[in-house]
Structure 1
Amino acid sequence: MFEDGWAAAPLRWVMDTVGHTHLDRMAVEPGLVAAVDQHAAALRDAIPLDRETLGDYLLGFADELRHLGWTPGGEDDLATVRLTAICWLARELGLLTDESPA
């Protein structure tokens, strides 16, 4: 899951790794929407929501997951929901709309 180069553009990496699939699921799974909303609210309260800060937060979070040997599975575990919240915020805030690394 953590292929070479994942840290160069962490927001794009997480969107490709978990985001697209889970954001699509949110359209039909209200429980996932509620869980993602809770994680997004926690992030909004904890950090400024700009490309650099959200990307730095993601780098730290993903690096810890890498050290723990975490990989995405079929279940909505805490890590997957948090990563989905990061993807949702990045999409909603338009942080992936240009060609610059994120």
Structure 2
Amino acid sequence: MPVGPIALPPLARVCAAFAPRLAEFAFEPGFVAAVDQHAAEISEYLSPRPAGLEVPPPDAEDLSDYALGFLDALDEIGWVEPVGHDYAVARLTAICWLVREHRLCDRA
């Protein structure tokens, strides 16, 4: 029997915390644009392609490793989620969006 809380995998942690932010897309076009840009940057970072070629969906394990590193960096600086949006909120919401869009939740 485990003692204490069971740690969720990185993608599950991000999705549990930031999936509710996806509802903000309905009334926050600036947030949608920021998340879209972050999702594109993350996808390109994880799987760079020559100009003009479509970037494939991210690999669930690679995205999970990326999310873990990003979460660790936020922990190191003592980041606290703001009421509004900042760089980290947009980045984490983009990770959540990529998971949902590419149905990665069952693969990570």
TM-score (normalizing by structure 2): 0.80
1:19-53 Cα shifts (integer Å, max 9, x gaps): 22211111221111100011011111110411100
CA displacement 1:56-96 (0-9 Å, x = unmatched): 00000100000100121102010010000000001000011
**Distance in 2 of aligned mates of 1:43 and 1:70:** 20
Corresponding letter in the other structure for 2:19 = H
State the distance in 2 between where 1:15 and 1:42 align: 18
* 1:70 pairs with 2:79: yes
1:35 maps to 34
Runs of 5+ consecutive residues of structure 2 not aligned to the other structure: 48-57
Relative to the length of structure 1, the TM-score reads: 0.84
Matched, 1:51 2:60: yes
Aligned to 2:50: none
Moved over 3 A (4+): none
- The Cα of 1:5 is off from its aligned counterpart by 4.8
1:22 alignment partner in structure 2: 21
